Amino acid sequence: MKNVIFHINKVFDNRIRLGIMSVLMVNESIDFTNLKELLEVTDGNLASHIKALEQEQLIDVIKQFVGKKPNTRYVATELGKNSFRQHLNALEQLINQSK
C-alpha cells in the first residue's frame, strides 16, 4: 500500500493535466490550439496547467515558426512519460486492491 501512494503523483490530480499528459502519451506532439479544442478549456486555463507541467519538467515546449506564423507544440519528456506511467499503474493497483 505504501508503494502505491508514493507513485500517485499530486501533479496529476487535476482533470486538465491528466488530459494533457494522456494526449501526449499517444501523440508525438500537439499544438496549443488542438489541445485546447480537445480539452474544451479556455486559453488561460490551459496555459496555466501547461506551465505547471513544464515547471515539473514533465513536458517540453517547442516554439517554431511555420512560415511566418509562430507555432507552439508540446511533447512529453521521458520523465513525464515515466511519471505518468507510474501514476497509471498506481491507479490500477488501487482499483485492484479495493476489489
Cβ distance to other proteins smaller for residue 67 or 96: 96
Of 61, 55, 58, nearest to 86 by C-alpha is 58
Helix (H, G, I), strand (E, B) or coil at 20: helix
Pairwise CA distance, residues 23 & 47, whole Å: 16
Helix (H, G, I), strand (E, B) or coil at 71: strand
What mask of x and - would describe binding to other proteins in positions 30 to 49, judged by CB under 8 A? x---x---xx----------
Cβ distance to other proteins smaller for residue 22 or 77: 22
Selected binder of other proteins within 15, 43, 51, 64 (CB under 8 A)? 15
Selected binder of other proteins within 47, 62, 79, 94 (CB under 8 A)? 94
Does 50 bind other proteins (CB under 8 A)? Our answer is no
Pairwise CA distance, residues 20 & 27, whole Å: 11
Cβ distance to other proteins smaller for residue 37 or 44: 37
